[in-house]
Amino acid sequence: MVKHLLLISACIVITAFSMKAQITITTTDAPSVGLTKSYANDTLQSYVNGILPGNSGANQTWNFSTLVSAFTDTMAFVAPNTTPYSTQFPASNLAAKTRMNGQTAYYYLKKDADGVYALGLVGNVSTQLNVILTVPIVPQFSMLRTPSNYNDTYTENYSTRVKAAASPIPLVDSIKNNSWTNLTSLIDGWGSITTTSGTCDVLRQKVTEITMDTTWVHSSFTGWTQFSTSKDTTITYRWWGKNIGVQVMEMERDAHTTAKTKNVKWVLGPLTSVESLAVNSDISLFPNPASDNIYINNLNASESYVIKVYDLLGKELKNVSVKNSTQAFLPVNELNNGFYFFSVFRTGKKVATQKIFINR
């Protein structure tokens, strides 16, 4: 249940090196309050079983341009004190709001100079029980240590304990689960990745988790009885890119005799930091939401600009040139309701970008 927490982590600063670039993960690139990201997910087993993670090593090229989205989800990073369960995780200074099994869920994190750590979650972790549960992680575990570079590795152990009423289960009034996990992280490659959202330089993380699960059930007739014990090994690959704030893509695989890919998810939108205006840019785009036109102010009349519009999959929908003007407007009448990315380029360099909702 806590594997979802590893979806959240730091982004990357890139240092130029030949055609591709090795990258260093720093804490300043980790998600912060106000960041929101959307993901596409592919869980169709007849398709994802055949998707392989590709080679490890230096200067790799990973091409996943044929991925097909089965559904999408969103993760919003918020201040813990704006959530209903913050008092249960007093050390948290960052929370991630998303959905789990049809209900709102919160992951509680701690971010400091050494990395980003998972403290626990609150959500509907079991479709069978269908109740909101609090799941502390003891001790906290590192989602990603910083700074990190190619070939960096670490190993940690953590555990979780959950106990809940079990009214949907006949003859059982309570259920509890203890889980112990050994986690090993290895930055096993660097290069470039291509998804449906585009191409960017990346650094790949391989996370191996060996988990022992034990479940007990309780009834008024027998008391507590051990119901099941299992041992599972999961290998998860994550590709981290520049200024995105979360991983570009994640692939989770069962590490059995014949390894199989269980699911694949990848970030939607252009593979840049497109959630807010570029740093040090005075250019503004408004209104948001919009219905008819998007207005762009504070352009330099002596410069030429190109305004591009992308859908959430990163597909370019509009491309308009502007010159000799301090402002411009872009009709959006033909766009369907929904979110779009509006980016402003000057001499080929992106100088401003905004995620805007079209609503008519």
Residues 74-98: pLDDT tens digits?
A: 889 999 999 999 999 999 999 999 9
User: Given this model, what pLDDT does residue 19 score?
Assistant: 42
pLDDT at 325: 92
Give the model's pLDDT for residue 46. 63
Identify the pLDDT of residue 5.
Answer: 42
For the chain, what is the mean pLDDT?
84
344 within 8 A of 353, measured Cβ to Cβ: yes
DSSP 75-103: EEEE-GGGSTTGGG-TT-SEEEEEEETTE
Q: For 106-117, what is each residue's pLDDT tens digit?
A: 999 999 989 899
Give the strand pairing for 57-63 and 174-195. parallel
Residue 276 confidence (pLDDT): 40
Report field, pTM of the whole predicted structure over 0.75: no
* pLDDT for residue 68 is more than 50: yes
Least confident of 25-39, 207-221, 270-284: 270-284
5 or 132, greater pLDDT: 132
Residue 324 to residue 328: CA distance in whole angstroms:
10
pLDDT on residue 127: 67
Q: In this structure, which amino acid lies at residue 249?
A: M
Query: For residue 300, which of 281, 287, 286, 273 has the smallest C-alpha distance?
Result: 281
Most confident range, picked from 85-94, 218-227, 302-311, 327-336: 85-94
| In the predicted structure, residue 166 carries a pLDDT above the cut 90 | no
pLDDT over 70 (residue 163): yes
- Average pLDDT for 317-323: 92
- Residue 32 is predicted with a pLDDT of 82
> Can you tell me the mean pLDDT for 149-158?
96
Mean pLDDT confidence for 153-173: 84
pLDDT at position 37 is 83
Question: What is the predicted pLDDT for the residue at 49?
Answer: 77
Average pLDDT over residues 211-220: 91
Domains with residue ranges and CATH for the chain: 2-267 (no CATH), 284-358 (2.60.40.1930)
At 20, the pLDDT band (50, 70, 90 cuts) reads: low
Does the pLDDT at position 260 exceed 90?
no
Instruction: Kindly indicate the confidence band of residue 16, based on its pLDDT and cuts at 50, 70 and 90.
Output: very low
E strand intervals along 168-259: 174-195, 198-219, 223-241, 247-254
Lowest mean pLDDT among 58-67, 204-213, 230-239, 331-340: 331-340
Question: What are the tens digits of pLDDT across the range 261-296?
Answer: 988 999 887 675 434 433 346 788 888 888 899 999
Q: What is the pLDDT of residue 320?
A: 93
Residues 6 or more apart in contact with residue 201 via CB below 8 angstroms: 14, 20, 21, 23, 190, 191, 192, 241, 242
pLDDT band at 167 (very low <50, low <70, confident <90, very high): low
Burial class (CB in 10 A: 0-12, 13-18, 19+), 100: buried
Confidence of residue 13 (pLDDT cuts 50, 70, 90): very low
